[in-house]
A and B are shown apart, each in its own frame.
Chain A
Amino acid sequence: MAETQNLFSNLQHSRDAVCRADGLACARGAITVFEGVSFSLAAGQALCLRGANGSGKSSLLRQLAGLLPAAAGTLTHPDPAYGTHYLGHADGLKAALTIAETLAFDAALAGYRADNDAYADIAARLGLAGCDWQFVGDLSAGQKRRLTLARLIMDPRPLWLLDEPMTALDAAGRALVTDLAEAHLENGGMIIAASHETLDFADEEVLLEPRR
């Protein structure tokens, strides 16, 4: 418990970190999904990506995570291997693992190990009961979504890329995301989220225009 608390709380990210796109374009096969997208994000800022279905919000997030190469333009962002969290549509959860085992894997990917009490603590903070015995496969969509938030808490990284962060979450779950996001921004973190909803923590918006 003590170990995890020290790791998570009051971590200040570098105030010099930036995330910038300049004339960014994305191509899927022969189709250009978007082009000429530019924005700049400094420490402590959050950006909300807006646009119709198929306008390339998820592709832009994947580009920012380094999973998809940019067709044109330049990207400046923290090294994805150390500095980026990407929470996409696919949650990366394993149905056959318990919540505690999932959290232990998250911790290991962050490079440390905590004890079961710490995992139970995090699960409780995310509003999940039965940490030791509950299998991920038995969780509801909203509960799974909450469980993915554990990564954000357990591995402090400056840039969060969130694809539809409010999907499947109830009011308490949305408040949880907003709280986590606000704390992250206060610590000098950056957030880029794609969403159709109003995100309280985002102060800027980028609209991806549909191309004809």
Chain B
Amino acid sequence: MSGLMRIFAAICSQHMHLSWRSGQTMLAVSFLFIAITLLPFGLGPELKLLRALAPGLLWVVLAISLLTGLERLFQADYEDGTLDRLLLVPLAFEAVVLAKLLGHYLALVLPLILAVPLAGLLLNIEAARLPVLLAAMLCGSPALVLLGGIGASLAVSVRRGGLLTVLIAMPFYVPVLIFGAAAGRAGLETGVAVGPYLGILAALSAASLLLAPFAIAAALRSALR
């Protein structure tokens, strides 16, 4: 492994390590389950209704669980001086940001997505219909993390900035939620093409991947001054 690769891998794996050790992963997954379990109490036990609403509900709950984890994405490193240090490594700061986002995705978002099929069963989606929803989430979730990262980086210098992060990031989530829920609904019906929805979700993720690291790096740099 070359030196730069090693730095990238170290930043990514340290982030995963810390979020696992601090219980963040388990908390987020538990939150997702609790929220999904509570929904039928609010909506009533109508199975048809639950099934029809399920794709949208699952996307919203996924987005919210993801947002709760975003607060600490850069804030801990900002407060304890790690970000200062990461600015002084041979790796471009944008790549450092990408390493942290990848670590966050693998440690927090992937377990959340893997928990979604189980949660879907609770909302009366047949197991055979779940792969489409899962594919839509795999295509769209990178955009959620990358766009959420912009919110987290802008709010990084604010103590208890979690709510601010959510406020900044939420508007960016609208397109992903629209197409994500549409893909999920299309997957519930037979004979409706889901390909275009997945394509748009993947495109949103790709565009975020291209732009978000630069925006996040710039926001963090200015916060560190």
Contacts and interface: CB of A to CB of B under 8 A. Distances in A.
Interface residues of A, number: 28
Interface string B71-114: 00000000111101101111000000000000000000000000
A92 B83 CA distance: 8
Nearest to B88: A80
B209 to A, nearest CB: 23
A134 B18 CA distance: 16
Interface stretch (A62-70, A124-132, A166-174, A203-211): A62-70
B159 interface: no
A108 B7 contact: yes
A201 interface: no
B89 A81 contact: yes
Helix, strand, loop or mixed for chain B's interface?
A: helix
Interface string A64-103: 0111110000000000111011101111111011000100
Contacts of A86: 84-85, 88
A98 B90 CA distance: 25
Given A67-B87, A92-B85, A112 B80 contact: no
A134 B59 CA distance: 41
Interface in A136-176: none
Contacts of A105: 10, 14
Nearest to B1: A113
A69 B7 CA distance: 26
B156 to A, nearest CB: 14
Contacts of B89: 81, 109
A126 B206 CA distance: 46
Given A68-B225, A81-B89, A96-B18, A109 B82 contact: no
Contact of A111 (B4, B17, B85, B225): B4
B87 A90 contact: no
A66 B18 CA distance: 28
Given A65-B84, A108-B10, A112-B3, 20 more contacts: A67-B224, A80-B87, A81-B88, A82-B90, A85-B88, A88-B81, A88-B84, A89-B81, A90-B80, A92-B82, A92-B84, A92-B85, A97-B14, A97-B17, A97-B18, A105-B14, A109-B85, A111-B2, A111-B6, A112-B6
Interface of B: 2-4, 6-7, 9-10, 14, 17-18, 21-22, 79-82, 84-85, 87-90, 224-225
Contacts of B87: 66-67, 80
A80 B7 CA distance: 16
A108 B89 CA distance: 10
A160 B59 CA distance: 49
B80 A84 contact: no
Interface of A: 65-69, 80-82, 84-86, 88-94, 96-97, 101, 104-105, 108-109, 111-113
B81 A90 contact: yes
Contacts of B10: 104-105, 108-109
Contacts of A101: 17
A126 to B, nearest CB: 18
Contacts of A90: 79-81, 84
Contacts of A88: 81, 84
Given A66-B87, A67-B224, A96 B7 contact: no
Contacts of A111: 2-4, 6-7, 90
Name the residue among A81, A104, A111 with the largest chain B CB count within 10 angstroms: A111
Given A69-B225, A105-B10, A109-B10, A94 B80 contact: yes
B105 to A, nearest CB: 20
A108 B88 contact: no
A98 B84 CA distance: 21
Nearest to B90: A81
